[in-house]
């Protein structure tokens, strides 16, 4: 791929590249390179809503919708390591940094190696 190039792959492309049938649940794509690159995953729902599921930073998630919003926020946790992560904790903050509710709540008891989990 050329410098600053972009390669778009669909699920169908990945099925062909990996020689696999269609999978039935979310999958984790692990990518390695000797050089730097960026990845973005885009989801398109049956209602044609398109979302970038990777518009987050490591250890934080922005723009979580309030409970009565028509928009539902899904938070994805991905364990990229080879070991199980235990007692994954989180604190919910307002825009100004003030905590909402209790601090350091365990949101996942554990997340096994190379696994992903979603919460709303």
Q: Is residue 2 part of a domain?
A: no
Task: List pLDDT tens digits, range 6-56.
Answer: 888 888 899 999 999 888 876 777 777 787 777 777 777 677 666 666 555
How many domains does one find in the chain?
A: 1
Q: Is residue 59 part of a domain?
A: yes
pTM over 0.75: no
Q: What pLDDT, on the 0 to 100 scale, is given for residue 11?
A: 84
Task: List pLDDT tens digits, range 68-95.
Answer: 777 777 788 888 889 999 999 999 988 8
Question: Would you list the DSSP string of the chain?
Answer: --TT------HHHHHHHHT-PPPSS--------SS------EEE-TT--EEETT--BTTB---PPPTT-SSPP-EEEE--SSS-EEEEEEEEE-TTS-EEEEEEEEEEEEE-TT-EEEE-
Q: Is residue 96 part of a domain?
A: yes
Domain range for residue 52?
11-28+36-119
Q: Is residue 1 part of a domain?
A: no
Q: Is residue 6 part of a domain?
A: no
């Amino acid at each position: 791929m050329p410098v600053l190039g972009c390669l778009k792959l669909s699920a169908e492309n990945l099925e062909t590249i990996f020689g696999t049938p269609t999978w039935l649940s979310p999958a984790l794509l692990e990518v390695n390179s000797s050089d730097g690159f960026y990845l973005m995953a885009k989801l398109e729902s049956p209602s044609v809503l398109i979302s970038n599921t990777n518009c987050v930073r490591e250890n934080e998630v922005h723009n979580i919708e309030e409970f009565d919003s028509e928009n539902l926020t899904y938070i994805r946790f991905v364990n990229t390591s080879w070991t199980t992560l235990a007692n994954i904790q989180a604190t919910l903050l307002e825009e100004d940094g003030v905590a909402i509710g209790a601090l350091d709540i365990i949101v996942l008891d554990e997340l096994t190696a190379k696994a992903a989990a979603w919460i709303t």
